[in-house]
Amino acid sequence: MAVGSFAGSIADSHMAVRNYIVPTDLSLDDLRSIFALTDEIIKDCQKFQDVCKSKVMASLFFEPSTRTKFSFDAAMYRLGGNVIGFADPNTTSQAKGESLADTTRIISGYADLITVRSPYEGAAKHMSMYSSVPIINAGDGGHEHPTQTLTDLMAIRHYKQTLDGHVIGICGDLKFGRTIHSLISALSRYPNNKFVFISPPELQLPDYVAHNIDQSMILRQTDSLINEIGNVDILYMSRVQKERFVSEAEYLRLRDYYILNAEKMKRAKKDMVVMHPLPRLNEISAEVDSDERAIYFEQARYGMYVRMALIMNLLDLG
């Protein structure tokens, strides 16, 4: 956004902008383009170093983040752009009580796109109604985390060659796990995928997530990891989301409900892969890390590259 084009930018602010709030905001064609672009970026990252020259990304993280924030910031810097943001949300006007709508109106006048993480579910969608630049949802409470899903899909595409025809076991906190909600929504768009949902009864998948997919894709809902581990092609483990619990005692009771260890891995298929959005706590023992089927650290490496491709796509620079 050039300073000299102030009047123009105000007029442009009424034009439709593309956001990425939930996985279905990108068509399957968009996804194909983004994955192909990610492949190109991985092959020769330097080729893209000036693509976002003079572009500014506002990085609004109202909740803690390591991987997502760093990968977004690194993505923008590697594209030659700049990042504005804050280290501590308590130093922002939000802490003074300003509405998110007003904050968005102002920030969207300073930046070319906004990434936001908020503890409030639906925050990114709300911001998109007041923004003149693209909004990227970097996680809204226990609702959605669609850019983690891009990372996950890239990893599945690499390690399993295709995004269709898999039996996917989703294990852990299915109630509050926003990465899980986004992943299910995304994978349900590809043919012949089947899901096995593995969780304690208290942390079952919300109805609205299960309701939104073709019911024939749901093989089972169970609380037994040991009984299902041999049946799945992909095992997606997740952390119990401490920050969403009201009761500490309830969290402690459920925290270690599932622990994937070497013994359980003996029952899994030889070509099964174990994924995790990270951070990992006790749900995967360190002894599993050396198993070649454990791909969670490699999975995380796609995060920056696929976010570079997403930024380019939303800014029509791809």
Distance of CA 167 to the CA centre of its chain: 21
Closest approach, Cβ 111 to another protein, in A, equals 20
Phi, psi of 264 (to 5 degrees): -65, -35
Name the residue with tokens 């969207």.
108
Closest approach, Cβ 143 to another protein, in A, equals 6
Q: How many amino acids of this chain bind another protein (CB under 8 A)?
A: 21
Residue 18 annotated as catalytic = no
Residue 96 annotated as catalytic = yes
Q: Which helix (H) or strand (E) holds 115?
A: strand 113-118
User: Do 145 and 178 contact (CB within 8 A), yes or no?
Assistant: yes
Residue 160 annotated as catalytic = no
Rule CB under 8 A: which of 211-240 touch another protein?
A: 211
Cα(291)–Cα(293) distance, integer angstroms:
5
Q: Which is nearer to another protein, 171 or 209 (CB)?
A: 209
Q: Which is nearer to another protein, 1 or 187 (CB)?
A: 187
Q: Which of 207, 271, 292, 316 binds another protein (CB under 8 A)?
A: 207
Residue 105 annotated as catalytic = no
Other Cβ atoms closer than 10 A to 20: 24
Closest approach, Cβ 71 to another protein, in A, equals 24
Query: Directed axis angle between helix 28-43 and helix 296-314, to 10°?
Result: 110
60 lies in the binding site for another protein (CB under 8 A): no
The stretch among 159-167, 203-211, 221-229, 250-258 that binds another protein (CB under 8 A) is 203-211
Spatial CA neighbour of 307 closest among 44, 76, 31:
76
Closest approach, Cβ 179 to another protein, in A, equals 15
Cα(224)–Cα(198) distance, integer angstroms:
6
User: Do 259 and 283 contact (CB within 8 A), yes or no?
Assistant: yes
Residue 149 annotated as catalytic = no
Among 78, 145, 175, 239, the active-site one is 145
CA distances from residue 199 to 25, 170, 194, 275, 295 in whole angstroms, order as listed:
28, 8, 16, 16, 21
Q: Which is nearer to another protein, 24 or 82 (CB)?
A: 24
Rule CB under 8 A: which of 62-101 touch another protein?
A: 99-101
Among 117, 239, 276, 307, the active-site one is 117
The stretch among 48-56, 70-78, 208-216, 266-274 that binds another protein (CB under 8 A) is 208-216
Cα(167)–Cα(183) distance, integer angstroms:
13
Q: Which of 85, 142, 177, 318 binds another protein (CB under 8 A)?
A: 142
User: Applying CB under 8 A, which residues contact another protein?
Assistant: 99-101, 118-123, 125-126, 140-143, 206-209, 211, 244
